């Protein structure tokens, strides 16, 4: 795993006020780098960055990355994490989701090219759609409905990967692509629309826990600290093609609901709702490449990661008007 002699001193994180973006800011600041976070705050929150106020190595700019994008001074890496990323978000923001995956990626790539910086794209396991190959290796091309309700996110990310490879092949830009599988941890939004925040919110409020379908659909849940470590290793590598980063341990949604209920010491009943359209039945990464290329694999067990998340959850204030339910349990952050 080698990225050459490049020394990373200043990085730009688009979507820096989001769940993953804010953790990336923390990570790189902890490595002694200067960090510039860009976010239009459509789904991100300044609360995620409040602890960085006054840090001379950190700066934030409210910025829609689908518009003209420039950053003063040298930049060594651009990490493109700006995008709505949950079923609730991209159902409410379909045009913005497509624009940030296409035009926003183009702008971010242009910034990296202008600065001679390395570029890392946050892609997603959603590029595999409802997979017919299990587990999913990077060589699998996917099974995506291009006109379904999830297509605005799935196809935007597939286009973002194509944009990234075009810049790599045509302009010689140093690029990295991380395909992120389901990730959870502190700073997830209660109204995010995904299983972990929805289950936690419901269990801690002693409300019914909503499981879609019969709960047999599976996901593979990776704790945020493990994901950030994998992203950092990928950025430092010299591999331009997509790499899966996620937890290969599979769990059904019904099992997850029961684990969350137990850890929260909740008496919530589990109720069942119809399965959303195009909801993937199974999702699990093949991380052979990450193991061989990056010497990476997840280390935080599910129950430990959930316990850490619950501790943070109990200490944070609920979002005003946060709904108790959630429309889907499939999307990942990216």
Catalytic residues, which ones?
Answer: 153
Q: Which residue has the tokens 């997850």?
A: 256
**Residues 102/155, Cβ–Cβ less than 8 Å:** no
List 13's β-bridge partners, or say none.
37, 79
List 59's β-bridge partners, or say none.
36
E strands present in 81-204: 118-124, 175-180, 183-184
List 219's β-bridge partners, or say none.
251
Coil, strand, or helix at residue 102?
helix
For residue 152, give the nearest of 94, 112, 102, 197 by alpha carbon.
94
In this structure, the chain runs to a length of: 334
E strands present in 241-306: 242-245, 251-252, 270-273
List 173's β-bridge partners, or say none.
none
**Structural tokens at position 195:** 């299983």
Q: Which residues of 16-34 are buried (b: 16+ CB within 10 A; e: fewer)?
A: bbbbbbbbbbbbbbeeebb
Tell me how far apart the alpha carbons of residues 309 and 262 are, in angstroms, rounded to a whole number.
Answer: 14
Q: Cis before residue 135, ω within 30 degrees of 0?
A: yes
Tell me how far apart the alpha carbons of residues 316 and 166 are, in angstroms, rounded to a whole number.
Answer: 42
Mention every residue, 6+ apart, whose C-beta is less than 8 A from residue 50.
none
Coil, strand, or helix at residue 96?
helix
């Amino acid at each position: 795993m080698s990225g050459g002699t490049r020394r990373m001193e200043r990085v730009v994180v688009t979507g820096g006020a989001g769940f993953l973006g804010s953790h990336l800011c923390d990570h790189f600041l902890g490595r002694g780098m200067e960090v510039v976070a860009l976010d239009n705050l459509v789904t991100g929150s300044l609360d995620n960055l409040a602890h960085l106020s006054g840090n001379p190595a950190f700066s934030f700019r409210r910025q829609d990355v689908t518009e003209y994008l420039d950053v003063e001074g040298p930049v060594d890496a651009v990490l493109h994490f700006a995008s709505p990323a949950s079923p609730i978000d991209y159902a409410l923001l379909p045009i913005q989701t497509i624009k940030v995956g296409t035009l926003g990626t183009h702008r971010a790539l242009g910034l990296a090219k202008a600065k001679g910086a390395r570029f890392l794209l946050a892609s997603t396991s959603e590029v595999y759609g409802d997979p017919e190959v299990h587990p999913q290796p990077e060589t699998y091309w996917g099974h995506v409905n291009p006109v379904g309700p999830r297509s605005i996110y799935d196809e935007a990310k597939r286009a973002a990967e194509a944009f990234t490879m075009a810049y790599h092949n045509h302009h010689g830009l140093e690029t990295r692509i991380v395909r992120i599988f389901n990730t959870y941890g502190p700073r997830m939004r209660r109204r995010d629309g995904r299983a972990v925040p929805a289950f936690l919110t419901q269990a801690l409020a002693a409300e019914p826990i909503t499981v879609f379908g019969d709960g047999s659909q599976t996901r593979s849940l990776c704790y945020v600290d493990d994901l950030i470590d994998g992203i950092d290793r990928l950025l430092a590598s010299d591999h331009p093609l997509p790499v899966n980063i996620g937890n290969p341990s599979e769990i059904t949604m019904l099992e997850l609901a029961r684990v969350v209920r137990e850890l929260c010491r909740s008496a919530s009943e589990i109720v069942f709702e119809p399965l959303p359209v195009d909801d993937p039945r199974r999702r699990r990464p093949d991380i052979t490449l990450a193991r061989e290329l990056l010497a990476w694999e997840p280390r935080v067990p599910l129950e430990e990661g959930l316990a850490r998340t619950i501790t943070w959850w109990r200490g944070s204030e609920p979002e005003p008007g946060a709904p108790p339910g959630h429309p889907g349990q499939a999307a990942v952050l990216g």
